[in-house]
């Protein structure tokens, strides 16, 4: 539509100019020295317009010739980029299908860039080809723009973590942590690296950020928190009793009363002879979360106030009359108090509720105390058979 309007305007102007020139063609004289050039105004205007057009198209042609190498290079780059994009699509398609070798071949066959090399490194990692993987990573790092170099370092750290090289990956992850402190992936990998190295103090320091950024689900975060607390308790217990007590006091109360944490804490207190702390811990933990293993640990403390322990444990029977671990614990405590008849009743009730290997073995100990060696041997045998299952 626009070209029709333009053509109409041009034709109208031409007709108007022709009518104007027919009435009065005008006269133009151009002189220089002895040379004089005479012509009508109409001819002069036509010659001027044609001359201007000729000069314009000559300049356009010269410019086009001058820019020909640049345009050729640009077109070549466009074609190369197009082929590279197709190769990337085909390579990623093969990568997602698990065709590692096909993926590498497609990614690297046409003008590879850093994304091609990075994807090829992933494919080589899946094939367990560490040599090619590192070559691709080096090429990716060489070809990547400065703004994207961190992505190559992150991929390298992930591969090292997958190979169990936490020490090697740690240096890269610390650097990445400084440069992109808000990266969830860096924080997650750094946590994994410290776990592999059993640096529980470092993991503990990362827990607030993990919780704040919601990198882990609530269940996974709680499991990590418990695992970290267990690691801290074991490491401090291997140093000294004061170190164990200091570490324990720094843990949040709600975490200390978690069954898994309370169990390992009580076990370490017992190993260091801190029986009172272990007893109080187990009592508080059992009030918070009932756990059969904690009840058995409570019964096996070996403290002098066995009668008080038995009375306290019997208070837990309400609503748990058929709980096998509690009945077993009561049987053991009754044996420590030398209440053989009561011990026998509790152990038999525990076996009726659920036959446990530990119950048979404790019953065997009781029968040995009573001099019934034949029956004791039979219970020992049953207990060992259940243990081996």
122 inside domain: yes
Compute the mean pLDDT over every residue in the chain, rounded to the nearest whole number. 84
Question: Quick count: other Cβ atoms within 10 Å of Cβ 244?
Answer: 24
Residues 181 and 98 in one domain: no
Question: How is residue 340 written in tokens?
Answer: 């053989």
Kindly tell me the sign of the dihedral angle through the C-alpha atoms of 111, 115, 117, 122: negative
240 inside domain: no
35 inside domain: no
Tens of pLDDT along 290-304? 999 999 999 988 777
Tell me which of 144, 163, 193 is where a domain ends. Answer: 144
Residues 376 and 297 in one domain: yes
Tell me which of 186, 215, 244 is where a domain ends. Answer: 215
Give the CATH number for residue 207: 1.25.40
Residues 127 and 160 in one domain: no
362 inside domain: yes
Structural domain harbouring 208: 148-215
Q: Could you say which DSSP state residue 304 is in? A: S
Give the CATH number for residue 387: 1.25.40.10
* 155 vs 200, residue with greater confidence: 200
Residues 186 and 169 in one domain: yes
Question: How is residue 315 written in tokens?
Answer: 């208070």
Tens of pLDDT along 135-177? 888 888 888 777 777 888 888 888 888 888 888 888 889 888 8
Tens of pLDDT along 89-119? 787 788 888 888 888 888 887 778 778 888 8
* pLDDT for position 137: 85
Tell me which of 195, 215, 235 is where a domain ends. Answer: 215
Residues 316 and 386 in one domain: yes
State mean pLDDT over 274-281. 90
Residues 129 and 155 in one domain: no
Q: How far is CA 238 from CA 199, 234, 245, in A?
A: 14, 6, 12
18 inside domain: no
SS (H, E, C) 236-291: HHCCCHHHHHHHHHHCCHHHHCCHHHHHHHHHHHHHCCCHHHHHHHHHHHHHHCCC
31 beta partners: 36
Residues 106 and 135 in one domain: yes
Query: Number of folded domains in the chain?
Result: 3
* pLDDT for position 14: 58
């Amino acid at each position: 539509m626009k070209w029709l309007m333009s053509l109409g305007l041009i034709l109208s102007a031409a007709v108007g100019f022709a009518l104007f020139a027919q009435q009065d063609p005008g006269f133009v004289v151009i002189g220089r020295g002895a040379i004089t050039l005479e012509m009508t105004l109409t001819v002069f205007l036509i010659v001027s317009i044609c001359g201007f057009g000729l000069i314009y198209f000559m300049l356009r042609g010269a410019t086009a010739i001058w820019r020909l190498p640049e345009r050729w290079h640009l077109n070549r780059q466009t074609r190369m980029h197009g082929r590279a994009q197709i190769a990337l699509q085909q390579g990623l398609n093969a990568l997602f299908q698990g065709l590692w070798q096909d993926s590498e071949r497609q990614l690297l066959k046409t003008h590879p860039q850093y994304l091609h090399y990075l994807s090829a490194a992933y494919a080589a990692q899946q094939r367990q080809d560490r040599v090619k993987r590192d070559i691709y990573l080096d090429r990716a790092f060489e070809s990547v723009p400065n703004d994207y170099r961190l992505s190559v370092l992150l991929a390298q750290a992930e591969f090292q973590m997958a190979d169990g090289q936490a020490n090697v990956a740690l240096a890269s992850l610390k650097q990445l942590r400084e440069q992109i402190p808000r990266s969830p992936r860096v924080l997650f990998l750094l946590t994994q690296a410290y776990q592999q190295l059993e640096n529980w103090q470092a993991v503990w320091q990362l827990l607030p950020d993990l919780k704040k950024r919601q990198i882990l689900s609530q269940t996974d975060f709680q499991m990590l928190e418990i695992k970290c607390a267990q690691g801290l308790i074991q490491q401090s217990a291997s140093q000294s009793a004061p170190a164990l007590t200091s570490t324990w006091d720094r843990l949040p109360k709600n975490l200390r009363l978690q069954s898994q944490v309370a169990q390992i804490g009580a076990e370490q207190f017992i190993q260091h002879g801190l029986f009172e702390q272990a007893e109080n811990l187990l009592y508080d933990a059992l009030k918070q979360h009932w756990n059969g293993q904690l009840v058995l640990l409570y019964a096996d403390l070996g403290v002098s106030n066995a009668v008080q322990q038995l009375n306290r444990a019997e208070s837990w029977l309400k609503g748990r009359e058929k709980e096998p671990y509690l009945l077993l614990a009561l049987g053991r405590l009754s044996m420590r108090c030398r209440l053989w008849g009561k011990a026998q009743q509790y152990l038999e009730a525990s076996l009726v509720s659920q036959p446990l290997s530990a119950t048979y073995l404790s019953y065997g100990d009781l029968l040995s105390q009573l001099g019934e060696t034949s029956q004791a041997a039979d219970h020992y045998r049953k207990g060992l058979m259940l243990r081996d299952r």
